[in-house]
């Protein structure tokens, strides 16, 4: 079993006082012990970041771009190790873990390109309605930032925050999820070798209470960028409010896949399975409500059952597994509770709903599909974060849109139709930050990530992800 340092401050790896036990969810065995940090480690990390800030914030864009590209190259060089760690710690099948690594590389390269553009564009002239004054606009790094990430896409979420924060010129204290620190620690090792000045990047592994809450409260931190559950997001925001910190929040979802009357049924089935069962459904963007045009519904559910039952569950490290286990025992129990409550509420189980008999060990739950789900049930309304789909027949396009929008969340949606006019009309009517039309959940660094309503505050990726770490300064000078 690996014993790993879980704190990295001012260029030095350290063993913190709070041990974290890291489990392989496919066999329930301990994979590693990580010596995590506490509030004192957060204070030291923040101080180190503060000390490094004046140097890093005055570096040129091209200097920052160079480091970001070195990180991208380092991630590529360690691809195999990162994939294996991600698969064994998260339970992701190898093919999914590969996609995470691709995403991390693309994100660092994208923000390297944006950083390269800073030097020419740092001071922009601003048109004024008078000749008596001239004004220029500068975008400056907002300071030391705290990045708090969840366990479902740990490396990707980290990259989406860290790459723009470093590109902007911020210094960083990163807190990985205590459930999945292993790939994060490997990524941190890549970053440690990329040529950043000491103190620009710091990491403190640990629990939410010991480390995350301390970060949110630390007055030297200018901004918290948080991805995780709504309950914790609210706590982070409350704590951050005490010192009037900026917050970016990426929270939960209860998203829909809308199968319109002109849909290609094959494609709809494929995307329903991807939207519900990729990463064992542990996605904030899971399209866990499937709304199917009445004319297609009967055929759709028969074929969805067959397709869901053909998904091969097993060891994520075995190439033939399509789906792995849930991330840990707590999540396994939580999803079971939702399934039981759904049955109690009168929903009809079409398939799945329990552990596959051939996998007695590990946190496996078969792909699960419910029909006849009451609209006021927790199964229909709450984020389940497991491989559970609720399918419903809809009488019209308007009903599909109304049902999709009837949620406190508004992260993403998918629309399937050969009638592109109808699909685009529906996409425009949906309250969601990202809508895919006839497409899987492809994510580009150029397009924003984030949602409406209680799913998000702010946007990640694209230039929006960068401006989240920048302050706007205007300098107005009399002629």
Give 249-260 as a DSSP string.
EE-----EEEE-
List alpha helices for 117-207, DSSP H.
118-121, 154-168, 182-192
Give 257-288 as a DSSP string.
EEE-TT--HHHHHHHHHHHHHGGGG--TT---
232 or 365: whose CB is closer to ligand NAD? 232
255 or 417: whose CB is closer to ligand NAD? 255
Instruction: Burial-class residue 479 by CB neighbours within 10 Å (0-12, 13-18, 19+).
Output: exposed
Q: Which of 67, 147, 216, 222 binds ligand NAD (CB under 6 A)?
A: 216
| Residues 104, 161, 278: CA angle, nearest 5 degrees | 50
Q: Which of 38, 178, 218, 397 binds ligand NAD (CB under 6 A)?
A: 178
Q: Which of 229, 405, 424, 467 binds ligand NAD (CB under 6 A)?
A: 229
Backbone angles phi, psi at 471, to 5 degrees: -100, 150
186 or 383: whose CB is closer to ligand NAD? 383
* Binding track, positions 356-385, relative to ligand NAD; x by CB under 6 A: ---------------------------x-x
Pick the catalytic residue from 184, 186, 250, 383.
250
List alpha helices for 278-325, DSSP H.
294-309
Backbone angles phi, psi at 469, to 5 degrees: -110, 15
10 binds ligand NAD (CB under 6 A): no
What does the alpha-carbon distance between residue 260 and residue 263 come to, in Å, rounded to a whole number?
5
174 binds ligand NAD (CB under 6 A): no
Is 205 among the catalytic positions?
Answer: no
* Shortest distance in whole angstroms from residue 369 CB to ligand NAD: 21
212 binds ligand NAD (CB under 6 A): yes
Is 361 among the catalytic positions?
Answer: no
What does the alpha-carbon distance between residue 86 and residue 83 come to, in Å, rounded to a whole number?
5
* Binding track, positions 411-430, relative to ligand NAD; x by CB under 6 A: x-------------------
The residue count for binding ligand NAD (CB under 6 A) is 32
213 or 389: whose CB is closer to ligand NAD? 213
* Binding track, positions 98-137, relative to ligand NAD; x by CB under 6 A: ----------------------------------------
Q: Which pairs count as long-range contacts for 238-247, CB under 8 Å and 24+ apart, including other chains? A: 239/213, 240/216, 242/217, 243/217, 243/218, 243/219, 245/216, 245/221, 246/142, 246/222, 246/468, 247/223, 247/457
Q: Which H helix or E strand runs over 404?
A: helix 397-405
Q: Stretches 58-66, 133-141, 244-252, 389-397: which one binds ligand NAD (CB under 6 A)?
A: 244-252
Q: Which of 9, 45, 170, 284 binds ligand NAD (CB under 6 A)?
A: 284
Contact in structure between 46 and 173 (CB atoms under 8 Å):
yes
Pick the catalytic residue from 284, 383, 397, 460.
284
Where does this chain bind ligand NAD (CB under 6 A)?
148-153, 157, 175, 177-178, 207-209, 212-213, 216, 227-229, 232, 235-236, 250-253, 284, 383, 385, 411, 455-456
> Catalytic residue numbers?
250, 284
């Amino acid at each position: 079993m690996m014993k790993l340092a879980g704190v990295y401050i001012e260029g030095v790896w350290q063993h913190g006082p709070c041990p974290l036990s890291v489990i392989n969810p496919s066999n329930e065995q301990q994979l590693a012990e990580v010596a995590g940090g506490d509030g004192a480690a957060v204070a030291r990390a923040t101080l180190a970041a503060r000390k490094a800030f004046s140097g890093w914030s005055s570096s040129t864009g091209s200097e920052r771009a160079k480091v970001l590209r070195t990180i991208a190259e380092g991630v590529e060089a360690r691809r195999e190790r990162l994939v294996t760690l991600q698969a064994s710690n998260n339970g992701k099948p190898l093919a999914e873990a590969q996609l995470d690594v691709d995403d991390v590389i693309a994100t660092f390269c994208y923000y390297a390109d944006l950083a390269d553009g800073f030097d020419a564009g740092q001071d922009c002239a601003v048109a004024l309605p008078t000749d008596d004054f001239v004004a220029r606009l500068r975008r400056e790094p907002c300071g030391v930032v705290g990045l708090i990430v969840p366990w479902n896409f740990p490396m990707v979420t980290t990259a989406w925050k860290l790459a723009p924060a470093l590109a902007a010129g911020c210094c960083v204290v990163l807190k990985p999820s205590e459930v999945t620190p292993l790939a994060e620690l490997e990524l941190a090792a890549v970053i440690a070798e990329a040529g950043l000045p000491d103190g620009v990047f710091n990491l403190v592994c640990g629990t939410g209470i010991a480390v995350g809450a301390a970060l949110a409260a630390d007055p030297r931190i200018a901004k918290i960028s948080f991805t995780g559950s709504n309950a914790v997001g609210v706590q982070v925001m409350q704590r951050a409010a005490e010192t009037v910190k900026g917050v970016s929040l990426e929270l939960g979802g209860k998203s829909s896949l809308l199968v319109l009357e002109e849909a290609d049924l094959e494609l709809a089935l494929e995307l329903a399975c991807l939207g519900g069962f990729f990463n064992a459904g542990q996605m904030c963007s899971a399209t866990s409500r499937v709304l199917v045009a009445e004319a297609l519904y009967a055929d759709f559910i028969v074929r969805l059952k067959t397709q869901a039952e053909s998904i091969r569950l097993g060891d994520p490290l075995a190439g033939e597994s399509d789906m792995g286990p849930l991330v840990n025992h707590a999540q396994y129990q939580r999803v079971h509770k939702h399934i039981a409550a759904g049955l109690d509420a009168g929903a009809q189980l079409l398939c799945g709903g329990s552990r596959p008999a051939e996998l007695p060990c590990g946190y496996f739950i078969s792909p699960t599909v419910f029909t006849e789900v009451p609209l006021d049930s927790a199964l229909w309304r709450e984020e389940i974060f497991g491989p559970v789909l609720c399918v419903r027949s809809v009488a019209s396009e308007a009903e599909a849109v109304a049902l999709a929008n009837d949620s406190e969340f508004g992260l993403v949606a998918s629309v399937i139709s050969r009638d592109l006019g109808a699909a685009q009309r529906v996409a425009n009517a949906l309250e969601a930050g990202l809508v895919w039309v006839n497409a899987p959940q492809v994510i580009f660094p150029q397009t924003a990530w984030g949602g409406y309503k209680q799913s998000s505050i702010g946007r990640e990726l694209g230039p929006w992800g960068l401006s989240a770490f920048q302050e706007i300064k205007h300098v107005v000078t009399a002629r």
